Amino acid sequence: MRRIRAIDGDLFRPRGQVRKEIDLARAAPGEVIRILGQRLSEERRRRIDGVVASRTRRLAAVVEGVHDPHNTAAVIRTADAYGLQEVHVIEGEKRFLSSRKVTQGAHKWVDIAVWSSVEPFFERMREQGRRVLVSDMEGAIDVRELEIDRPTALVFGNEADGISVRMRAAADGAFKIPMHGFVESFNVSVAAAITLSTLRADGRGDLSPPEAAVLRARFYLRAVRAGYDIVMLERERQAASERSNQ
């Protein structure tokens, strides 16, 4: 397990390297894909293409104040499996711990933002025009009837207390997962899995062509060892060749 320092809205990865990769992918996605595509097998390229085609930013998963790191890691893994590109972690009183053993590498492919409290998280959601819905057994909307017709963040609370008072007060609504037994709640990772399975059954992506190209380039940079260095070296070689031909 690894301890993550909460930096509001920052990515859960070494900031320097991932920032360089993101900047490069945004600046020259076609170049990254051309250079690194030669170092990936056809099967690996097809797999990445399939994942990108199924990726969504319309839906984001959020975990609030979860104490067990395995639960948070399981939500990250589930989000990746159902095509979500964004997971938000609101720490609350305890710092976020993520078990890489449980994520099974999913943290490499999903954008994870860590927040120190509810307020900065909501500020970002409002800036993005996102609706925020919390998972609550008393929620007014059955998850099976939930329409994702606008960007939405789905919040799952901690194992002991569920959704916090501040989160509940600021949220735009609540949804419930129907239950037919004696138990009164699901484990947070189970609740997330049921919700995402219900809402993402078709696996349809919604990225625009430019967004898809940037994400594909980012995945290439993640998939090829020292991918960033390889691209930068090739760019330097091309620039030197152009200068010598002038």
pLDDT in tens, 193-219: 999 999 999 999 999 999 999 999 999
pLDDT of amino acid 4: 40
Instruction: Measure Cα distances from 13 to 3, 84, 132 in Å.
Output: 11, 17, 25
| Cβ atoms within 10 Å, residue 159 | 14
Confidence of residue 1 (pLDDT cuts 50, 70, 90): very low
pLDDT of amino acid 153: 97
Nearest Cα neighbor of 99 from 70, 134, 128 is 70
Average pLDDT for residues 222-234, to the nearest whole number? 95
Q: Rounded distance, CA 67 to CA 97, Å?
A: 8
- Report whether 118 contacts 166 (CB < 8 A): yes
More confident residue, 180 or 234: 234
Instruction: Measure Cα distances from 119 to 8, 91, 107, 124 in Å.
Output: 10, 12, 25, 9
Instruction: Measure Cα distances from 74 to 4, 11, 67, 189 in Å.
Output: 16, 18, 13, 6
Tell whether the model's pLDDT for residue 128 goes beyond 50. yes
Average pLDDT for residues 144-154, to the nearest whole number? 93
Q: Which residues pair with 227 in a beta bridge?
A: none
Rounded to two decimals, the pTM is 0.86
Confidence of residue 231 (pLDDT cuts 50, 70, 90): very high
